């Protein structure tokens, strides 16, 4: 089963927009292979598009974090809230239809309260000067653990409603 069997792409974009509005993070929906299913992008900071847009940043920072967290979410059937290697919070919520894992929804782009971007690691991965990275990260929003958990719960409830609506139509 594919995510687009559950609802059309336009509805997944609507979910992403809701997550952006509610959680103030960039949001994305991924299939089981870790590929985003929509082309809707709204960045919640200035550093993530630089990381994601670099030759090595997307594959070695973003994708690795997503695949590890998605695997954990799939195994536990619970949302996962962790930092990526760059120090940025990421929220991954599994999507199941009955017992079939079909993907994830969530987002990233804010720092944990009291956290900071790991400019050294990003510099070593993508080669951009640390001072430039610090300037890009200097106005990033933060999330307390409670805000991150509330965001994960919000996404989880939205997914639950989507799956229930799909199942009622079967």
> pLDDT for 63-83, tens place per residue?
999 999 999 999 999 999 999
In the predicted model, is pLDDT for residue 122 greater than 90? yes
Q: What is the DSSP string of 102-165?
A: EEEEEEEEEEETT----HHHHHHHH---HHHHHHHHTT--EE-HHHHHHHHHHHHHHHHHHHHH
In the predicted model, is pLDDT for residue 170 greater than 90? no
In contact, 96 and 163? CB cutoff 8 Å? yes
Give mean pLDDT, residues 127-131: 96
Distance of CA 72 to the CA centre of its chain: 14
Query: Does 3-168 carry CATH code 2.40.50?
Result: no
CA dist., res. 18 & res. 69, Å (int): 22
> pLDDT for 69-121, tens place per residue?
999 999 999 999 999 999 999 999 999 999 999 999 999 999 999 999 999 99
């Amino acid at each position: 089963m594919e995510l687009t069997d559950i609802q059309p792409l336009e509805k997944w974009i609507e979910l992403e927009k809701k997550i952006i509005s509610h959680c103030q993070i960039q949001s994305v929906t991924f299939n089981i292979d870790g590929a985003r299913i929509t082309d809707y992008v709204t960045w919640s900071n200035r550093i993530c598009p630089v990381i994601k847009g670099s030759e090595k940043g997307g594959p070695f920072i973003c994708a690795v974090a997503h695949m590890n967290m998605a695997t954990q979410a799939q195994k536990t059937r619970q949302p996962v809230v962790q930092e990526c290697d760059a120090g940025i919070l990421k929220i991954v919520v599994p999507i199941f239809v009955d017992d079939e894992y079909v993907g994830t929804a969530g987002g990233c782009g804010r720092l944990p309260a009291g956290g900071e971007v790991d400019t050294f690691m990003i510099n070593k991965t993508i080669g951009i000067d640390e001072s430039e990275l610090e300037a890009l990260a200097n106005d990033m929003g933060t999330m307390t653990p409670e805000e991150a958990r509330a965001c994960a719960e919000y996404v989880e409830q939205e997914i639950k409603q989507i799956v229930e609506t799909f199942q009622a139509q079967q």
